Amino acid sequence: MGKNPKGAEMNGTPNTATAGVTDTVRVRMAPSPTGFLHIGGARTALFNWLFAKHHNGTFILRIDDTDTARSTDESMHEIYDALKWLGINWDEQYVQSERRNIYDRYVSQLLESGNAYRCYCTPEELEEIRAQARADKLTRSYDGRHRHLTSEDVERFVAEGRKPVVRIKMPDTPILVEDIVLGSRSIDPDTLEDEVIVRSNGMPNYNLTSIIDDAEMQITHVIRGTEHLNNTPKQIAIANALGLGVPQFAHIPLVLDSSGRKMSKRHHGDLVAVNRYREQGYLPEAVLNFVARLGWSYDDKQEIFSVDELIEKFDLARVGKSGSVFDIKKLEWLNSHYINQLDVSARTDAVIPFWQAEGLINSTGQRDWLENIVEAVGERLTTLQDIIPQTRYFFTDEFEYEPKAVKKWWGGSEEKKEKTREILTNLLQILEETPSFDVETVETAIWKYTDENDIKRVAAMQALRIALTGTSFGPSLFDIVALLGRDEVLKRIPKAIANL
RNA sequence: GCCCCCGUCGUCUAGCCUGGCCAAGGACACCGCCCUUUCACGGCGGCGACACGAGUUCAAAUCUCGUCGGGGGUACCA
């Protein structure tokens, strides 16, 4: 694979040869709709999409729903939603269950050419074969025993009510698998067994439909997870038997959990659900940037990539071979970066749904006030969801005084508590008398009090902070006082004193 | 069991193809200091890796072989 010859195009060279793969790339993302889109799937989608965009190609979404028992409409829509949220848009879309006749046609061809055959083995029989093969340390289990059935055999099986599957006859010559990421290798045919390509209920199987559709849809590059590596020679064998060409393959390393195992819906649940990250207040830019760097890098310094930069810089040649551990800390870092990147207005827009979901606001009529709150919170959000603990007290005075904060700043002993009551009482009086309630006036008044009475600033400030917010952390206290307003502040201090 | 893939700081990685510039660079995390009304931000500093063993070579993280370790697959799932 050569470099993208963009330069040649810019020169306006009027030939087609120099364009190379640039304008003919066709890739696909082929999820099976058996659950939410998971993080690994999102990365596969992203790599395909980036590759397509980079080469001015076509990105196709193909729903591989041949497993009718597990596929659901709901899941299909969840996948659409997740992809749209990420901004990964597709140019063409196909659903495999609507393409039965195409697969049936190819199966007939395989049967007629003698490259496939019906197998009447029962599940029990297959189980036995497997067990025996394992005991004998064989490299494959199914032994092709129904390759050459007599018509009497068939009649007998049919009479017994057995429903056959269709199996592909694997070749007896090595299969060359070329992979852009992993390199080339030759697969010993003795390790391949006659795969089932059509189930006994007549439904075709993944290895068959996948490679047929790749050919039918003129896919040029198959970019998928390495869990499919062992399927590749099988699919190539099927394509060969059908006389179809095969795309180029690029198997990307797995996304692993912290103990090094493949992330899966089954074992990791919500942790891998893309939609879950959206609900928790992650930005799509952050998720995209994060998964892009799982298994791919541009150079030895750049970590932050806008989508446009990703498109410009993505290259399969820089995809690594080993699996990558999903580290949520890094995602969080990226997320806070992208949140901070938003201006106050955009950040307010982003955060409003979270306030609403929490029941803290019901209209946006107080827009200016909300923006001021967001401004005061500043760079304290790791996720949008963090806006709740950071700002709850602005919307209600029904909050708990955090025990740890109380103990540390209000005092563990009665003596210290008494001192705190005194400070709060004095502050109350100062704030009652202060001519205006803007940040500067309040600040001046409070500093004057602490400094003149030889009270530690931090002690007074934290005592007041807890009285006003119930917590020991958050935005500048003067901002909080100003945003809460005189009435609210003068109401909360006595209440705090009473609770001391 | 069998088949296949992989192996640089705790994590993501640069470097490996085209041996020397690598007493291995960056980022996240962690720790410390500074800033500071708190918590974050930010600034500065610290901790920290070539899986192991042979071989080739003047020289190996880089090439070769072996060992060990990890992972994926092994379905009438995809």
Over residues A461-480, the pLDDT tens digits come to 999 999 999 999 999 999 99
Chain A residues 182 to 221 whose Cβ lies within 7 Å of strand B are 182-183, 185, 187-188, 191, 196, 199-201, 205-207, 210
Span between the terminal Cα atoms of chain A, in Å: 72
Give whole-number Cα distances, A100 to A31, A95, A275, in Å. Answer: 18, 10, 31
A169 catalytically annotated: no
The whole-number pLDDT of residue A23 equals 55
Question: 3-state class of A26 per DSSP?
Answer: strand
Residue A7 has pLDDT above 60, yes or no: no
A395-406 pLDDT tens trace? 999 999 999 999
Q: Which of A325, A246, A260 is nearest to A39 (CA)?
A: A325
Question: How many Cβ atoms from other residues are within 10 Å of residue A46's Cβ?
Answer: 26
Strands (E), A232-368: 248-252, 255-256, 324-325
Q: Could you tell me if A60 and A22 are in contact, meaning their C-beta atoms sit under 8 angstroms apart?
A: no
| Token pair 């602490």 in the structure block, residue | A450
A275-304 pLDDT tens trace? 999 999 999 999 999 999 999 999 999 999
| φ, ψ (nearest 5 deg) of residue A424 | -65, -40
pTM of the model: 0.93
The whole-number pLDDT of residue A230 equals 96
| Token pair 């709740």 in the structure block, residue | A388
Residue A364 has pLDDT above 70, yes or no: no
A431-457 pLDDT tens trace? 999 988 999 999 999 999 999 999 999
Percent of chain A with pLDDT over 90: 89
Q: Which of A449, A436, A440, A495 is nearest to A469 (CA)?
A: A495
Which of A19-23, A255-259, A349-353, A409-413 shows the lowest mean pLDDT across its residues?
A: A19-23
What is the enclosing helix (H) or strand (E) of A166? strand A165-168
CA separation for the pair A266, A57 (Å, rounded): 34
Residue A1 has pLDDT above 60, yes or no: no
Q: Categorize the per-residue pLDDT at A49 as very low, low, confident or very high, splitting at 50, 70 and 90.
A: very high
Which of A22-26, A213-217, A253-257, A408-412 shows the lowest mean pLDDT across its residues?
A: A22-26
Strands (E), A30-112: 58-63, 92-95
Average pLDDT value for chain A: 92
Query: What secondary structure does DSSP assign to A282-342, as a single string?
Result: --HHHHHHHHHTSSB-SSSS-----HHHHHHH--GGGB-SS-EE--HHHHHHHHHHHHHHS
Nearest nucleotide by C1' from A405 CA? B38
Chain A residues 296 to 325 whose Cβ lies within 7 Å of strand B are 296-297, 299-301, 303, 318, 320-325
| Token pair 């760097």 in the structure block, residue | A293
Q: Which of A332, A346, A256, A362 is nearest to A43 (CA)?
A: A256
Report the relative pairing of strands A183-187 and A92-95 from DSSP bridges: unpaired
The whole-number pLDDT of residue A362 equals 86
The whole-number pLDDT of residue A329 equals 97
Nearest nucleotide by C1' from A294 CA? B12
The whole-number pLDDT of residue A15 equals 28
Point out the catalytic residue in the list A6, A137, A163, A265. A265
Residue A263 has pLDDT above 50, yes or no: yes
The whole-number pLDDT of residue A271 equals 87
Nearest nucleotide by C1' from A465 CA? B38
Q: Which residues of A354-366 are buried (b: 16+ CB within 10 A; e: fewer)?
A: bbeeeebbeeeee
Token pair listed for A421: 């009551």
The ipTM of this complex is 0.96
Give mean pLDDT, residues A35-52: 97
Q: Categorize the per-residue pLDDT at A218 as very low, low, confident or very high, splitting at 50, 70 and 90.
A: very high
CA of A45 to C1' of B18 (A): 33
